[in-house]
Structure 1
Amino acid sequence: MAERTLRGARLGGQSFEDERGIEFAARQQVGYRCPQGHEFEITMSVEADVPAIWECPRCGAESLSTSGIQPEAKNEKPARTHWDMLLERRSEKELEDILKERLELLRGGEIGPAHLHRANAKKRKATA
C-alpha cells in the first residue's frame, strides 16, 4: 500500500481533481419560516419539486415555505374502532343473542376459567 499512495495523502481525504470546466446544476434558494420565528434557506435544484413544509434546523418544528406554497390537504379517514368493525360483520341483535348464549354457558360452568368450574362443581355437589 505504501508504494502506491501519494506522500501526504490522507485516507478518504481531499480530491486532487480540479473544478475547472465543470458545470454545476442550476440551483435556487428556498426560504422557510417556522412558528418560532426562525427563518432559513435551503439550496435546491431548479428542477426539484419544492416542498411546502421543511423541518426547522434550530427547533425541529414544521416550517412553511415563504414563497406561498401551501401544503396539500390530506383526506383523513376517521379511525375505525373495534366496535365499528364488529358492526360491519354482525347486527346488534345478533350480538345480544351471542352474549346471552355465552353468559348462560359461563354461568352453567361449561366455559370459562377452571377455578370457576371447581367452585360451581362444589356447589352442585353440596346441593345434590
Structure 2
Amino acid sequence: MAERALRGARLGGQSFEDERGVEMAPRQEVAYVLPDGRTFTVTMAQEADVPLQWEDPKSGIVGRLVDGAEPEAKDEKPVRTHWDMLLERRSVDELEEILTERIELLRAGEIGPPHLHRRGKKTAASRR
C-alpha cells in the first residue's frame, strides 16, 4: 500500500496540469465607476453579456458601467397591503358591521378561546 502512495506530493495543494497548449478565450477589460468617482476594471470573456452594474471586489460598493446606457425604468406596481385587499372585497360600512357582530359574539362567550368566556355571574368570593 505504501508503494502506491504519491511521494512528495501534497494532496490538493498543487495541480499537475500543464497550461502548455491551452488557448485562452479572448478577453476584454470592462470599466466600472463607483458613486464617489473611483473606477475599477473587470476581465470578462469577449462574447460575455456585460452587465450595467458590478460590485467592486475591494469595497463591495456597486459600480455602474462606464459609458453605459441608463437602465430602463420598470413600471412598478404599488405595494398592496392586507387592508387594500380587504377593501377590494368589502366597504368600510360592511367591515364596521361585521366587527360589531363579532364583538357581541365574543362578549357573549359564543366565540373565542374558552379562558376568555364569562362564567355566569359568580363573584371572586364564590370561586374560592
User: What TM-score do the two structures reach when normalised by structure 2?
Assistant: 0.75
Unaligned ranges ≥5, structure 1: 124-128
**In the aligned structure 1, how far is the partner of 2:106 from the partner of 2:13?**
75
**In the aligned structure 2, how far is the partner of 1:32 from the partner of 1:73?**
20
**In the aligned structure 2, how far is the partner of 1:73 from the partner of 1:53?**
15
Q: 2:125 matched to which residue of 1?
A: none
- AA aligned to 1:22 is V
**In the aligned structure 1, how far is the partner of 2:60 from the partner of 2:12?**
32
Aligned length: 121
Distance 1:18 1:59, change over 3 A: closer
**In the aligned structure 2, how far is the partner of 1:2 from the partner of 1:90?**
81
| % identical equivalent positions | 65
Q: 1:84 matched to which residue of 2?
A: 84
Please show how residues 69-108 of structure 1 align to structure 2 within 5 Å.
69-108=69-108
Q: 2:10 matched to which residue of 1?
A: 10
| Contact 2:30–2:41 (Cα < 8 Å) also in 1 | yes
Q: 1:126 matched to which residue of 2?
A: none
Unaligned ranges ≥5, structure 2: 123-128
User: What TM-score do the two structures reach when normalised by structure 1?
Assistant: 0.75
- AA aligned to 1:92 is V
RMSD (CA atoms): 2.5
Q: Does 1:65 align with 2:65?
A: yes
Secondary structure, counterpart of 1:23 in structure 2? coil
Structure 1 residue 98 displacement after superposition: 0.8
Structure 1 residue 80 displacement after superposition: 1.1
Higher share in helix: 1
